[in-house]
Amino acid sequence: MSDRTPYAQQVLAGQSIETPSWAFGNSGTRFKVFAQQGVPRDPYEKLADAAQVHKYTGAAGSVALHIPWDRVEDYGDLARHAAALGVRIGTINSNTFQDDDYMLGSVCHPDAKIRRKAADHLLECVDIMDATGSDTLKLWFADGTNYPGQDSIAGRQDRLADVLAEVYERLGDDQRLLLEYKLFEPSFYTTDVPDWGTAYAHCLKLGPKAQVVIDTGHHAPGVNIEFIVAFLLREGKLGGFDFNSRFYADDDLMVGAADPFQLFRILHELALRDALLPASGIAYMLDQCHNIEPKIPGQIRSIMNVQEATAKALLVDHDALAAAQRAGDVLGANAVLMDAYNTDVRPLVAEVRTGQGLAADPLAAYAASGYAEEIKAARVGGSQAGWGA
Ligand code: AOS
Ligand code: ZN
Ligand code: ZN
């Protein structure tokens, strides 16, 4: 047992990772959505499934909503439903990409009427934050162009800045917005918020209540994400993560599945700055789609993957690392990191769970609970996560 084990266990016990409501509905690619039995039929049932993830991991107490996919009559009632299930509403995610009106963009659209419609939707999302008690608005824009000359690149930035400023003004004192960037898709020539630099520049101009969110699947191959993490963290502009894995582009596979070492390197930067607990203000979220695997176990596995990578990051001996770095001991410094990464932390994390009165193996406990069979029998005609929902 490393002498950092008790500290690692203490931090892990307080860690919180938000699940996305859309992970529980059917999802797929543009080629096919494979329907699974027992998927939720409405936002209330999505919360019930999310609560299962929390029940067995103890680390997923908040759930992100996506509007309008999770539109309900009474958001206060939805928040009370969440509380009764032992979870709470986390970030509110806007959607300015699924209407026909948005073919040429939303907040960057050349037509002021469409920009107005998009801005009104974002303002409605802030109303929903008020009603649910959510403190974070997460903005991802599908805006961009497909062909050179299609629209003014700079003009679109002006339009984006105008809408962001309007939404920023509407935020309450305890609310914030997170701006997400993505290299490409659905636009293939320019994307209006393609990278962290663009998001950072807009957030800087907006003020302290605007921060950048890093979706781990939204970069070009080879981009050093932990550098972005370290930079934004240092500037106080890292608002959160959308965790997932990618082999190619925005694959939205389970976090830690494609590159657990990258996840460790990211979490190491956060551990160095004591930024792993909710008090850091960084929203740790999953943004994933379980197209071919069962959804609740997919989310549980994802939480476990984040916990294991976090445990390894927490085992890094910071004093030894700093000493090696000061001494210019390149191999020694690298060895400090690799020693932690190569530790089998599964027993350490299992102990955290049993210490919280949970089963050591959340996947086995969930499987034994019979919940999957129950929802298969009870729910017929579950809904799609997004498009068409
Ligand atoms: C889209 O690629 C982004 O990852 C967003 O976070 C999006 O809102 C989410 O994936 C749900 O569609
Ligand atoms: Zn995302
Ligand atoms: Zn994405």
pTM of the model: 0.97
Q: How many CB atoms lie within 10 A of CB 198?
A: 17
Q: Is the CB of 135 under 6 A from ligand 1?
A: no
Q: Is the CB of 191 under 6 A from ligand 1?
A: no
| Amino acid 201: pLDDT | 99
CB 337 within 8 A of CB 290: no
Phi and psi at residue 93, in whole multiples of 5°?
Answer: -100, 130
State how far the Cα of 249 lies from the Cα of 262, in Å rounded to an integer: 15
Does residue 175 lie in a domain region? yes
Phi and psi at residue 240, in whole multiples of 5°?
Answer: 170, -175
Q: Is the CB of 219 under 6 A from ligand 1?
A: no
Task: Count how many domains the chain has.
Answer: 1
CATH of the domain at 185: 3.20.20.150
Q: Is the CB of 242 under 6 A from ligand 1?
A: yes
Does residue 378 lie in a domain region? no
For the four alpha carbons of 173, 61, 310 and 372, in that order, the dihedral sign comes to: negative
**Among 216, 335, 200, 324, which residue's Cα sits nearest to residue 270?**
216
State how far the Cα of 180 lies from the Cα of 91, in Å rounded to an integer: 13
Q: Tell me, what's the ipTM?
A: 0.96
**Interval between CA 182 and ligand 2 midpoint (Å):** 8
| Amino acid 387: pLDDT | 46
Does residue 56 lie in a domain region? yes
Which ligand does the CA of 27 lie closest to? 1
Residue 291: which residues within 8 A CB-CB, separation 6 or more?
27, 28, 29, 33, 34
**Interval between CA 19 and ligand 3 midpoint (Å):** 14
Residue owning the nearest CA to atom 10 of ligand 1: 287
**28-38 pLDDT, tens digit each:** 999 999 999 99
Which atom number of ligand 1 is nearest to the Cα of residue 287? Answer: 10
Residue owning the nearest CA to atom 6 of ligand 1: 140
CB 243 within 8 A of CB 287: yes
State how far the Cα of 35 lies from the Cα of 102, in Å rounded to an integer: 27
State how far the Cα of 232 lies from the Cα of 238, in Å rounded to an integer: 5
Residue owning the nearest CA to atom 12 of ligand 1: 386
**Among 35, 37, 90, 36, which residue's Cα sits nearest to residue 62?**
90
**Among 9, 62, 4, 7, which residue's Cα sits nearest to residue 307?**
9
168: three-class secondary structure by DSSP: helix
| Amino acid 384: pLDDT | 67
Q: Average pLDDT of the chain? A: 97
**Interval between CA 2 and ligand 1 midpoint (Å):** 39
Q: Is the CB of 22 under 6 A from ligand 1?
A: yes
State how far the Cα of 52 lies from the Cα of 366, in Å rounded to an integer: 8
Does residue 158 lie in a domain region? yes
Does residue 6 lie in a domain region? no
Does residue 332 lie in a domain region? no
| Amino acid 380: pLDDT | 82
| Amino acid 382: pLDDT | 67
Residue ranges making up the domain that contains 266:
15-315
Residue of 287, 288, 384 with the most ligand 1 atoms within 8 Å of its CB, for mutation: 287
Could you say which residues of the chain have pLDDT below 50? 387-389
Chain center to CA of 25: 16
Q: Is the CB of 250 under 6 A from ligand 1?
A: yes
